[in-house]
Amino acid sequence: MANTLKVTTPTDREIAMTRVFDAPRHLVVEAYTNPELLKRWLGVHNGWILAVCEIDFRVGGTYRYVWRGPNGEEMGMRGVYREIVPNERIVATERFDESWYEGGAVGTVTFEEEDGRTTLTMRVLYDSKEVRDSVLQTPMEQGVGAGFDQLDKVLASMGA
Amino acid sequence: MQLSGDIPTSSASLDATFAALADPTRRAILARLASGEASVNELAEPFEMSQPAISKHLKVLERAGLISRGRDAQRRPRKLEAQPLAEATAWLENYRKFWEGSFQRLDVLLDELKTSDRKNRTKR
């Protein structure tokens, strides 16, 4: 059975994503925190690569990601680790260089293992009402959440 | 973490599109218009709402460029404009694809790591 990505909106300031991996937790955590391994998968699609990946993995430490697109376009983000529970939980702020929404966000990633499989859950909490009301929250709640079916129907009937 | 790449540049109009899509009545109106143009009366029918209330929703949709008015001056039917909706959906799709694509690569990487993990263990 395919491991599908689930996207939900637990609160009106949050987006949550859940995905199961056929691997024990310590390997998933390793792939998530080792820069050389991250470069092999995070945002690597459609000709984009993770060109810069610097991680100072400790509370108060920073991380820096820069993606490069097929036409040389770049997109960067950075953040600070707020909480690290080894093999269980990582909490970090996140901010894009040229953010298209106001304010910042805090991401919490948790890793849970059962029968040799690991469930990764990522929750992103946006930090103000402005952010909540901005473009990001709305498409997430309405589009990826419950409203997506409706939008699907609209698009299906439009032949999209 | 959010998506990378392929972010539409017209974020102001995307704002308007997403704000317009944020309401279930407006989404239902769009769904109705997807099957063909309709007058304000026809659009108001399935909702337990006054015509002015519906008109308000239509104004929001119109401002976002999601609908426009048809030719018939008497009925003044509204019709769906495909482009902004397609842009909004493309944005959503990018977000999902970013993570789906990433996680599929992670699956492959994890298989590799599992193999070397096992080898290391038997060596010990």
Q: What is the pLDDT of residues B48-73, one digit of tens each?
A: 888 888 999 999 999 888 899 887 77
Instruction: Please state, rounded to an integer, the average pLDDT across all residues of chain B.
Output: 78
Instruction: Give pLDDT tens digits for A119-141.
Output: 999 998 876 545 544 434 333 33
One-letter amino acid identity for B104?
Q
Model confidence at A33: pLDDT above 80:
yes
Provide Rg for chain B, Cα atoms. 23
Pairwise CB contact (< 8 Å): A77 & B1: yes
Closest approach of A61 to chain B, Cα-based (Å): 17
Q: Per-residue confidence at A149, pLDDT binned at 50, 70, 90?
A: very low
Q: Per-residue confidence at B29, pLDDT binned at 50, 70, 90?
A: confident
Model confidence at B22: pLDDT above 60:
yes
Q: Give the residues across from A53 on adjacent strands.
A: A65
Q: Per-residue confidence at A158, pLDDT binned at 50, 70, 90?
A: very low
Q: Give the residues across from A122 on adjacent strands.
A: A17, A109
Report the pLDDT averaged over residues B19-24.
79
CA atoms within 13 A on the CB side of A9: 18
Closest approach of B16 to chain A, Cα-based (Å): 8
Model confidence at B19: pLDDT above 80:
no
Model confidence at B120: pLDDT above 90:
no
The predicted pLDDT at position A66 comes to 92
Model confidence at A8: pLDDT above 80:
no
Task: List B residues 66-95 in contact with A (Cβ-Cβ < 8 A).
Answer: 80, 82, 85-86, 88-89, 91-92, 95
> Within its chain, how far is the Cα of A122 from the centroid?
6
Closest CA to A119 of A5, A34, A33, A1: A5
The predicted pLDDT at position B74 comes to 79
